[in-house]
Structure 1
């Protein structure tokens, strides 16, 4: 049986963000130190803005830095609305122009209410399927809207099933890119002990 570790602050959503390292390599090293085979990092990065800003300023962007980590599978998330998929399509175009690894990216479309997806969203999802590794639709779950993941055991059945589908899509993208089985977990570089003067 696989075990999971969750690094979280358990704070309410309205309390704001923690001050966390911005360098993706810091999170990669954390995973290596912990000996974890898989690390899921949740970031609020606005992909298209970051890519365009990096290009216009001539610096390396955060999105490119995340994508360049060994064995990284980008998961692009947006709301399943007209505005959400328009922003996602812009991000996909910008990522494609920069040569980022869309072939192993997974898209998660989050539904914000009950009912069928709008035709515009369904059409966008169909068009995106040929550009990315997978497109997964995350159903509306009123419990998450109200409480986040503080009580994960109360998630709806469809939400849990979609979570499994999303994880499977990410793993499948990784297997296509790097083989099955995947390489072993990283081992961090050894840290040498500081030299001490002998008196």
Structure 2
């Protein structure tokens, strides 16, 4: 999640999936509109993806898995579910409700899900408060064993937006104690003093604060680059994020994690007696 665009949210989701793949069967759900998302280009999916999932019949595990594209990483392969159609195809109508994506994960049989959200967190919470409705942010946080990962660029403007979002999360009673904060550096060198100060303050409220170092190859090529070209310190930061996510989940829900609840199956059609 993030308060604004340009927060390295998709990059963090990608690196987190790389690291989680060593521990669990992992999938990334791309929730952004196709023409605003980097995932179709990163995934190299020829066509289909989410568009191949039927909307008028129950999903099967084989069909759900077939809609995903496999990403290869040193830690292990993982899957991506995105809209990989041509740019001129009509936009898909995807569900907003996090519970629908939870059902999709259960249908596919994945153990770990990284949801690359597209909504601005603070605005979402404030709009929900003013309208008296349930926010997407709260709905995601209420899913079983969820760990929010809040991303922000390691700049003065980035941490200001992050701190504002954290204040809103705190006011709404959302689980900051199991939230992992990732500060993505935009240049080499030590983070600015304002970023270091913000990280110190956030470390008291959040489960962990992780600094993601600047990686010139990621900046130049995105995550289309070969995994081997990603710097070792970037990989180390990704492992720290994954370890923080798992530690927050274990601290909040138990170690080992109990079995996740299964969504209720659709009722079978009643066949008349012959």
Show the counterpart of 2:258: 183
Shift of 1:115: 1.6
Show the counterpart of 1:82: 156
Larger % of strand: which?
A: 2
Q: Structure 1 CA distance, aligned partners of 2:201 and 2:164?
A: 13
User: Which SS does the other structure have where 1:109 is aligned?
Assistant: strand
Show the counterpart of 1:136: 210
Number of matched pairs: 198
1:119 aligns with 2:193: yes
Show the counterpart of 1:195: 270
User: Which SS does the other structure have where 1:39 is aligned?
Assistant: strand
Aligned in 2, Cα 1:44/1:129: closer, same or farther, shift over 3 Å?
same
Q: Are the equivalent residues in 1 in contact too, given 2:178–2:248 (CA < 8 A)? A: yes
* Cα displacement string for residues 3-62 of structure 1 (whole angstroms, at most 9, x for unaligned residues): 64445785238x6x9753211111111222222221111112211111111111111111
Q: Structure 1 CA distance, aligned partners of 2:225 and 2:27?
A: 13
Q: Structure 1 CA distance, aligned partners of 2:251 and 2:115?
A: 21
Q: Are the equivalent residues in 2 in contact too, given 1:79–1:110 (CA < 8 A)? A: yes
Q: Are the equivalent residues in 2 in contact too, given 1:51–1:94 (CA < 8 A)? A: yes
Q: Are the equivalent residues in 2 in contact too, given 1:33–1:187 (CA < 8 A)? A: no
Show the counterpart of 1:35: 109
Show the counterpart of 2:40: 11
User: Which SS does the other structure have where 2:150 is aligned?
Assistant: strand
Q: Are the equivalent residues in 1 in contact too, given 2:99–2:143 (CA < 8 A)? A: yes
Aligned in 2, Cα 1:142/1:182: closer, same or farther, shift over 3 Å?
same
Residue ranges of structure 2 left out of the alignment (5+ in a row) = 1-21, 43-86
Q: Are the equivalent residues in 1 in contact too, given 2:199–2:209 (CA < 8 A)? A: yes
Show the counterpart of 2:78: none
Q: Structure 1 CA distance, aligned partners of 2:144 and 2:160?
A: 29
Residue ranges of structure 1 left out of the alignment (5+ in a row) = none
User: Which SS does the other structure have where 1:64 is aligned?
Assistant: helix
Show the counterpart of 2:221: 147
Q: Are the equivalent residues in 2 in contact too, given 1:141–1:159 (CA < 8 A)? A: yes
1:162 aligns with 2:191: no
User: Which SS does the other structure have where 1:129 is aligned?
Assistant: helix
Q: Structure 2 CA distance, aligned partners of 1:36 and 1:185?
A: 11
Give the TM-score taking structure 1 as reference length: 0.89
1:91 aligns with 2:91: no
